[in-house]
Amino acid sequence: MKKIEINTPITIFENIDELPADDLYLLTSAKEATYKSYAPYSNFNVGCAILLDNGEIISGANQENAAYPACICAERVALSAISCIHPNAIPIKMAIVAINQNKENTAPAAPCGECRQAIYEWEKRHNHPIEIFMRGETGEIYKVDSVAELLPLAFKKDDLI
Ligand SMILES: [Zn+2]
């Protein structure tokens, strides 16, 4: 028997002033996308902005439903939009911002497990990592170089062969 340890390297920016201008623009786009959120049940507004290799930014916001399983997260809204609008584009960077209408949210908005799996599929599909920036309404910004950092031992296409 043996044990292994899996580490998650995270770059932390204490505030937006530390971000390069392009990354700040992407993060701002994610925050603006929270206004497109439909979240009457959770009051948790999530925005996601994705920079593509063609320079375009596509955004999405969470869309809730009285039948909860029909809800869709901001990240998968944005990824689905890319498939329709720029089907051959490669996602390079993603920013996620979450605002809680019930209290100030300072926790970085990490994607849920289902979205981690969806983002992982995009990385594998294009063989390109996606940098992910995460932030609450305020507070520190977390960045990982790839969703693989957030989803160790991911389930992948090779597992099906
Ligand atoms: Zn999600």
135 CA distance to ligand 1 middle (Å): 15
For residue 14, report the distance from its CA to the centre of ligand 1, in Å: 25
- Cβ atoms of 132 and 143 within 8 Å: the answer is yes
CA angle (156 as vertex; 151, 159 as ends), nearest 5: 130
This prediction's pTM: 0.96
Give me the catalytic one of 18, 56, 64, 75. 75
Give me ligand 1 centre to Cα 145, in Å: 18
CA nearest neighbour of 115 among 77, 159, 64: 77
The pLDDT assigned to 88 comes to 94
User: b/e string for 39-71 if b means 16 or more Cβ within 10 A?
Assistant: beeeebbbbbbbbbeeeebbbbbbbbeeeeeee
Verify whether residue 75 is a known catalytic residue.
Answer: yes
* Residue 158 confidence (pLDDT): 85
Domains annotated on the chain, with CATH = 11-151 (3.40.140.10)
Residue 77's nearest CA partner among 108, 100, 56, 47 is 47
Q: Report the pLDDT value the prediction gives residue 157, as an integer from 0 to 100.
A: 86
- Beta bridge partners of residue 143, listed in sequence order: 11, 133
Tens-digit pLDDT string for the chain (161 aa):
999 999 999 999 999 999 999 999 999 999 999 999 999 999 999 999 999 999 999 999 999 999 999 999 999 999 999 999 999 999 999 999 999 999 999 999 999 999 999 999 999 999 999 999 999 999 999 999 999 999 999 998 888 98
Cβ partners under 8 Å of residue 117, min gap 6: 151, 154, 155
Amino acid letter, 32 = E
Beta bridge partners of 15: none
